[in-house]
Amino acid sequence: MSRHSVLITRMIPEKAVAYLKEQCDVEVNPHDRPLTKDELLASAKGRHAVMTMLTDPVNAELMDAVGPQCKIIANYAVGFNNMDIAAATERGIFLSNTPDVLTDATADMAWALMLAVARRVAEGDKVTRAGQFVGWSPLYMLGPEVSGKTLGIVGAGRIGQATAKRAIGFNMKVVYTANSPKPDFEKATGAAYLPLDDLLRTADFISLHVPLTPKTKYLISEREFGIMKKTAILVNTARGPVVDEKALAKALQTGQIWGAGLDVYEREPIVEDALLGLHNAVLAPHLGSATFETRENMGFMAANNILKALGGEVPPQCLNPEAAGKR
Ligand code: NAP
């Protein structure tokens, strides 16, 4: 029997590729960049499964280019805002993502940014390298204390809750918002549910963990910056378009908020020009899940979803189990 044919649209950790190669014929995009639209459509053609990245538009055009033999498109990401679920279900194609395995790494990144902004780590690094450090001084480069403050979690799902749990070690009060209250989370952390506007008024640190959907696009814009504390620090490790980047740059420039730490951008890899010159913004290049361990585990999880679907089962991290009825 001939082996199933799988495309992986970017190089991922080799062990996960090797795992898939034990059972399938696997082709990996050899370039260290996303495939262009034409390359993606051409190289996906005729595959039984495709492993995609958050930078690949997984839409009807791609699905039709792959063809009716395709059983699954497995995203190498937990976010699936790049995927058209209805189009996949209609065609009987399973979609899957990689939840849980990247939760800790992404929560750590949110904390790295919170601390870096508050304690001016990136700014201080630049000054030191430029030879401008002239010695300890009582009033030099002060920032807000982190311990004891209020952390606002916007989107208390897997990553939001993991970010909140880390706040316990900093003796912080946690407030959160989500579609619905989370009693178990409240019991475990002492967190209190607040509507978004109340959270924005209350929190010293605001960390975003919602998925990108039509409802969360520009969730944080000019109006929201207007109700935050002047001392607030905003951290975004969710998706760029959750924040209106121009409004953020203005809020930082005018002192409407104190600082921001960003891992994601509205038009990646383009970053709003106005942000680049701001000393009170720490800008990371989308590194939320970028640890050796997590990227390998994401690869195994996506590979496993592919193997399950190719074996005729509903994949464990399936986003549209109802596609089974369409095959
Ligand atoms: P998750 O478990 O699904 O959590 C999402 C949370 O957002 C849920 O608590 C949900 O509330 C809440 N939510 C959804 N829409 C909302 C709205 N309109 N208003 C308020 N809350 C809303 O997802 P996750 O695994 O934590 O991942 C979150 C996101 O992080 C992903 O979608 C992805 O885009 C991003 N991410 C980024 C990186 C990175 O590299 N920077 C890495 C991993 C993930 P309910 O539970 O009440 O429905």
Catalytic residue, chosen from 47, 120, 209, 239, is 239
pLDDT at 2 over 90: no
Angle at which helix 103-118 crosses helix 292-310, to 10 degrees, equals: 150
Atom of ligand 1 at shortest range from CA of 159: 26
Atom 40 of ligand 1: nearest residue by CA position: 288
pLDDT at 256 over 70: yes
pLDDT for res 327:
76
User: pLDDT tens-digit profile of 224-248?
Assistant: 999 999 999 999 999 999 999 999 9
User: pLDDT tens-digit profile of 148-192?
Assistant: 999 999 999 999 999 999 999 999 999 999 999 999 999 999 999
pLDDT grade, residue 197 (50/70/90)?
A: very high
Atom 4 of ligand 1: nearest residue by CA position: 157
Q: Candidates 179, 199, 216, 235: which one to mutate for ligand 1, based on the most atoms within 8 Å of Cβ?
A: 179
pTM as predicted: 0.98
pLDDT for res 1:
59
Q: What is the mean pLDDT of residues 15-41?
A: 98
CA of 214 to the centre of ligand 1 (A): 13
User: pLDDT tens-digit profile of 265-309?
Assistant: 999 999 999 999 999 999 999 999 999 999 999 999 999 999 999
Token output for 220: 């944080």
b/e map 77-107, b = 16+ CB within 10 Å: bbbbbbbbeebbbebbbbbbbbbebbbbbbb
Cβ atoms of 219 and 242 within 8 Å: the answer is yes
User: pLDDT tens-digit profile of 205-224?
Assistant: 999 999 999 999 999 999 99
Q: What is the mean pLDDT of residues 57-84?
A: 98
Round to whole Å and give the CA distance between 180 and 165. 19
Could you give phi then psi for residue 300, rounded to 5 degrees? -65, -40
CA of 275 to the centre of ligand 1 (A): 24
